[in-house]
Amino acid sequence: MKQVVEIDLPSELLIGLHTNAESFSIFLKEQAAISLFKDGKISSGIASNWLNISRMSFLRLASDAGASLLQDSSDDFRRETSLL
């Protein structure tokens, strides 16, 4: 089931960032997925499915954003690698 979340923001924010609502929405979605992944709230598989990209693409995106990909426990590592 797809859920939609609305966020109120001033148009000046989009103007100041030189972007439009659609691009900003994609940016926020990526940042939320990365943050939830970094916090251990979602797996890379869930994040990549949410963003409609491959797991490898998501892991690159998360790594570029500073996520440590292998600091988890051995159980976390087994869970992540079993999804490959």
What are the tens digits of pLDDT across the range 24-53?
A: 999 999 999 999 999 989 999 999 999 999
**Considering the entire predicted model, what is its pTM?**
0.77
pLDDT score at 60: 93
Q: Alpha-carbon distance 84 to 77, whole Å? A: 11
| Domain coordinates in residue numbering, the chain | 11-82
Report the alpha-carbon angle 66-4-27, nearest 5: 30
Cα-to-chain-centroid distance, residue 25: 12
Contact assessment for residue 66 and residue 33, using Cβ atoms and an 8 Å cutoff = no
Contact assessment for residue 22 and residue 8, using Cβ atoms and an 8 Å cutoff = no
